[in-house]
Chains A and B, each alone.
Chain A
């Protein structure tokens, strides 16, 4: 009897809903039945409402079942899932599922499909073709290709990646660095984490190409302590890459040299800001640096440094492999390529949706996401993390691209969308934004350090019904000071959630709304 391969995610979100228990149940039931199965632990396809989603390799391809509970396993075997038979949990071929079929997966092409620690799997899925191309082209042409692709920073600011690389390439120094900013602290975002857990070689290849392009032989991945599972997988992948000659000297038989280390932060949100990250990597308090000088010229240990978001770096291999024009042909306006959108919070179909820019916010939330999980009306969507604006359904016509969002005083940021139903209290969310800023401020600049504490106090007075109109004016004034007077995005962008809540949901600030169901 042939061995049937069964794919079960070990992505932390799948583990959080019982993937390990399901894996144990599958192994036990196969042993009981004498069925020859081999378990492959993958990342996640990103259809989290179906997790744990199990895929069985059959003559018709991989057939998915989900969400699977351990108690479902005997029934799935009995129904004949090893042949892809029908069952109430049968999803079918994942690629045919509307949620995946509607996507354009470039950055996430392999995530959830491959064994994340198998170099053979990675290469079979197109891995290392990009680096081979970059070695052929050389550094200058590689930088040019990245510029032509139109790739912009995926961490929030949206700065053109190629221009940053060229600055570092043109700088003269004895040592240059590539830093991957994987300090994905924004609520509602998990794309970096999924790559770390599901396709780590993609990041390693992307960073190696960046090193070749700008002349850097050393790189750091700065991740978060809140991601222990992702860090364990990434650390294991680095060991495999070193052992297989994919890091170190003479990579792929060329003269490319690149060394890569994983570093883990210590629970400080502000270290996601690139200059605070540099200070933290140097072993200091994660205090923001004033710019200039730009990190591209004076970055880590004062050397020219590329600091890119994980998603930017993980997108480099496909750009080099398929060509700059291929990538640039996706998207609209100055927002080129694809964006891995993360659908989170109170949403029916939460997950990772990679698509070319240009859908409307409403299409993403209502059609792709299916509206709320609670089946109540959507009241607000926070876009771009805890420093992003809250948008009401009346703005669902906003196109998903950098410029259209900016025109509505909103941010795309790292691509997270957190959906709230009509039980949300927006004054509470505005207060939370200020409280979060106060908690996480590095303390270097006054508007952020003191403004956030005073901001929370002002919201408290509004909530208590004291001089509401005057206090709202005061809060708006304070937000302006923070927006224009802060050194970095933490203080500078906290006004986005606060002001958007006041603007779009005034009824929550002027006299209290009747409380809807509390939970």
Chain B
């Protein structure tokens, strides 16, 4: 099962369509933001005034909502996203050293993207894979019982995959 999708370039019309699709829900802000990010790979700043109008909020309110949640990006991520679990259960199985080692080998900080634009490494706090730790989510695909070799292999696999141009944050 792959959750990777090709993302669309920004158009006002597409954004308005996405907003219209969800605006009749009770409390529609989060479903709309998820849908925008799924469509464009991030929540473009240009969407803020559209959303403000649709939800009858100020632009500052909308910015406040977007910036509160870790999931929403205002710029695109790399073509592939690797979410590495930093939480306690994974730490108990050496997850801390594993993640730090990966970042070091890629020359990245948390949230950084490789120079070729292929891979973004993001922290995640618990994937519910605590009995098969340490774990990560690679383009939405779960991988558990990781060690250095296995983690490098999955990262290299997606890094060498140019078959799709973008993906959404799961």
Contacts and interface: CB of A to CB of B under 8 A. Distances in A.
Interface of A: 12-13, 15-17, 20, 48-49, 51, 184-190, 193, 225-230, 261, 263-269, 280-286, 301, 342-347, 350-351, 373, 382, 386, 416, 418-421, 424, 428-429, 432, 436, 440, 442, 518-519
B162 interface: no
Contact of B94 (A261, A264, A519): A519
Contact of B129 (A12, A184, A432): A12
A184 B126 CA distance: 9
A283 B87 contact: no
B130 A350 contact: yes
A258 B107 CA distance: 52
Contacts of A386: 87-88, 125
A507 B148 CA distance: 30
Contacts of B87: 187-188, 386
Contacts of B133: 344-345
Contact of B90 (A187, A227, A301): A187
Nearest to B130: A344
20 contacts: A16-B129, A186-B126, A188-B87, A189-B126, A189-B130, A226-B83, A226-B124, A226-B125, A226-B127, A226-B170, A269-B125, A285-B65, A345-B130, A346-B93, A386-B87, A416-B89, A418-B130, A421-B92, A436-B125, A519-B94
Interface string B101-132: 00000000000000000000000111111111
The 8 closest A-B pairs by CB, nearest first: A283-B29, A350-B131, A16-B144, A187-B87, A266-B69, A344-B130, A267-B70, A345-B92
A228 B3 contact: yes
Interface in B127-149: 127-133, 135, 137, 140-145
Nearest to B34: A264
Interface in B59-103: 64-65, 68-72, 83, 87-94, 96-98
Given A283-B65, A419-B92, 17 more contacts: A16-B132, A16-B142, A17-B145, A187-B88, A187-B130, A190-B129, A226-B128, A229-B1, A266-B70, A281-B27, A301-B26, A343-B131, A344-B131, A416-B130, A418-B92, A518-B97, A519-B98
Nearest to A287: B68
A387 B27 CA distance: 29
A48 B126 contact: no
Nearest to B90: A187
Contacts of A442: 68
B125 A188 contact: no
A230 to B, nearest CB: 8
Given A190-B128, A264-B34, A346-B92, A283 B27 contact: yes
A443 to B, nearest CB: 9
A393 B89 CA distance: 18
Chain A CB count within 10 A is highest, among B33, B70, B124, B169, for: B70
A429 B132 contact: no
Nearest to B32: A283
A188 B143 contact: no
Given A283-B55, A344-B89, A420-B92, A350 B132 contact: yes
Given A186-B126, A344-B130, A432 B88 contact: yes
Nearest to B97: A519
Contacts of A346: 92-93
A418 B133 CA distance: 11
Contacts of B33: 266
A267 B90 contact: no
Contacts of A281: 26-27, 30
B31 interface: yes
A51 B125 CA distance: 23
A13 to B, nearest CB: 5
A379 to B, nearest CB: 10
Contacts of A225: 34, 71, 169-170
Nearest to B96: A428
Contacts of A267: 69-71, 124
Contacts of B30: 263-266, 280-281, 283
Nearest to A350: B131
A418 B89 contact: yes
Given A187-B90, A226-B124, A49 B130 contact: no
A189 B70 CA distance: 21
Nearest to A385: B88
A78 B143 CA distance: 29
Contacts of A17: 132, 144-145
A193 B132 contact: no
B125 A266 contact: no
B128 A227 contact: yes
Contacts of B34: 225, 264, 266
B97 to A, nearest CB: 5
Contacts of B135: 16
B142 A382 contact: no
Contacts of A186: 126
A432 B91 contact: yes
A421 B26 CA distance: 47
Interface in B19-57: 25-31, 33-34, 55
